[in-house]
Structure 1
Amino acid sequence: MNIPKKLIDAYNKGSFGIFIGAGVSQSAGLPSWNKLLNELIDLAVDINIGDEKERELRLLAKIPSKYLLVAEELKEILSSDMPKFITKRFNDKSIDSPEYLDRLIKELSYRFVITTNYDNVIEKAFVKASIVPNELTYRDPSSINYNFINEEVFILKAHGDAKRAPEDIVITEKDYRRIIYNSYGYKSILEALFSTNHLLFLGASLNDPELILLLGYIHNIFQGGSPDHFALMSNKDLTQTEINRWRKDFNINIIPYDPKDNHKEVAVFVNDFIKRVEKKS
């Protein structure tokens, strides 16, 4: 698979981070946004929300732009039942990290890994690589800053951790506004990570509401000339206009791939990328 020279050069400069999106967790067997919302609707049906409400929510759950709205509604309906479900669903001990992620974590050099996922798939890849990173969330801005300044490898679970604090996960736009507006330090750290490092996005999607939310809140740094970032994305329904806009609006260069054969090209990309770059010392 063709690996852009621009990406190789960016990696070899040394200021490099990895962003793990929802697609990686889905490849490990965890639910997509649509499936998660429908599972939560099933839970809401059990507490008798009524047929009309169920039909309405299931229709909205088919529309990516409505995912966060549906999540907000379900959070109010389910109350304390939602974090219990999130813990059970995303802290599934039978779920394993995909092989391409294991290689990426073990063989590349990076300063940090960021994810909007709630699960522990990334942590499992680190265990296999015998690396013990610091695991941090949006509630740990001082620790994130300390690790970043001291060049200690860390995982930033930007939207929370299903295992450590399921009640604190970010699953609606209101949740994210709350943490951004109440924690200027955290927002500043996010801006620092994206403005001083090249990032490789894996498992990202143009329809991922959490990624769009994250990029939206740090949009200003991209206008200020951040480093080039790169995103491996399925070419399904991907238009040239979208590719152009992500490059112009976020400095994210999209690398399209064919999703056939269960996204086999993702593993091919990772293997080829590892062969082309300087190896971890």
Structure 2
Amino acid sequence: MSDGIPLIPVIPQALREAAHRGTLIPFVGAGASRLAGCPTWAQLADGALMACITANKFNHGQMEQIRHLSPRMKLSIARAIESEHALTIDYEKLINPFDGYQNNAVGHRVYRSLGKLSKTFVTTNYDAWLDTEILDPPLSVSTDSPVQDTVATPRVRRRIANVEDFTPANLNQENCVFHIHGSLVDPAGMVMTTRDYIRRYANDRGSDDPTRENRTLTFLEVLFQHKTVLFVGYGLEDLEILEYVIQKARQQFPSERPQARHFMLQGYFAHEYELMRSLTQYYAQCDIELIPFRRDQRDWGQLTEVLEAFAEAMPARAPLELQVQMEMESYLEP
């Protein structure tokens, strides 16, 4: 890092080894979906409120009064309006406004590369980009026409959005994606409001009553202890949720260090070198190694180049049987 921020970072050896063992799991955030044409959190929140205005259940004056609130607070207001007036906001249209799953070339590049890094994924996103495996496009063999980047038929992954299915056993299943904040398939179940977050991450695991177990925290605890996580598409605005998720998931075992090291891909401009250094130290406190890349040439589009380079260098493998056996045995230990 002393030579500046690279366009394509060197892959840490521990990350390569995790991919080789089949224990690498990408944890995908909104930054990846934004490259694929989905809105930012702020755009989603404002879009939900505009839907309320269109339905004559809110007005522009009220919108102006709350324009400085956080996206989560705005979404909480929009959800409350939905409930009060029996209104149905079309979140599918808001989150995927341009039919991006079929026609977004950048989205296909991003999620094709992500799909090569692992067999299992975790995401806080609601969209369906991870729900299918996007294959490499077929190469044209014609000498009369250039190679065309046509989209191959994707293969469906198992979508897991029900908290009851957040289990260690499912974490070792191939071709799965865990939507820990819900999915567009069930808009009512999406974690969006402040109350939703409190309920999803409430720490009731100290209770002797198994019915009060927080499946999400148990799942995340297993994830961070036994897998190597690569955070992709998270930024400064996500620090709060990252702190909460990681520290909450481990707080039952404050004296133990995790068995796996975790990583975060993050982009910075060249003049943000000192910020990057400071955040490297900050993330280290959460047992996360920052992998920085330089945004000056292509802005966040550089993440696409980085993912493609990583996918070529460390393609995914299925978890080794011995690795899975060791993990399952550890779950049975008192």
Taking structure 2 as the reference length, the TM-score comes to 0.70
Deviations 1:48-75 (A, max 9, x none): 5345421122122xxxxx3322222222
Decide whether aligned partners of structure 1 residues 48 and 188 sit closer, same or farther in structure 2, where only a CA change above 3 A counts. closer
CA distance in 2, matches of 1:34, 1:279: 34
Determine if contact 1:114/1:156 at 8 Å carries over to the other structure: yes
Decide whether aligned partners of structure 1 residues 268 and 220 sit closer, same or farther in structure 2, where only a CA change above 3 A counts. same
Name the structure 1 match of 2:180.
Answer: 158
Is 2:287 the counterpart of 1:256? no
Name the structure 1 match of 2:231.
Answer: 201
Compute the displacement of 1:167 (Å). 0.5
* Structure 2 unpaired stretches of 5+: 1-7, 102-106, 136-151, 203-211, 319-334
Q: 1:40 aligns with which of 43, 48, 51?
A: 48
Larger Rg: 2
SS in 1 for 2:289: strand
Map 1:71-82 onto structure 2 (within 5 A). 71-79=75-83
Name the structure 2 match of 1:63.
Answer: none
Decide whether aligned partners of structure 1 residues 122 and 278 sit closer, same or farther in structure 2, where only a CA change above 3 A counts. closer
Name the structure 2 match of 1:228.
Answer: 261
Name the structure 1 match of 2:193.
Answer: 172
Is 2:159 the counterpart of 1:135? yes
Compute the displacement of 1:233 (Å). 1.0
Name the structure 1 match of 2:148.
Answer: none
RMSD (Å), alpha carbons:
2.9
Name the structure 2 match of 1:49.
Answer: 58
Is 2:306 the counterpart of 1:269? yes
Determine if contact 1:133/1:154 at 8 Å carries over to the other structure: yes
Compute the displacement of 1:239 (Å). 4.2
Is 2:74 the counterpart of 1:67? no
Corresponding letter in the other structure for 2:251: N
* Structure 1 unpaired stretches of 5+: 61-65
SS in 1 for 2:308: helix
Is 2:214 the counterpart of 1:184? yes
Determine if contact 1:102/1:126 at 8 Å carries over to the other structure: yes
Decide whether aligned partners of structure 1 residues 202 and 103 sit closer, same or farther in structure 2, where only a CA change above 3 A counts. same
Structure whose residues are more often helix by fraction: 1
Corresponding letter in the other structure for 1:230: F
Q: How many residues align?
A: 270
Taking structure 1 as the reference length, the TM-score comes to 0.82
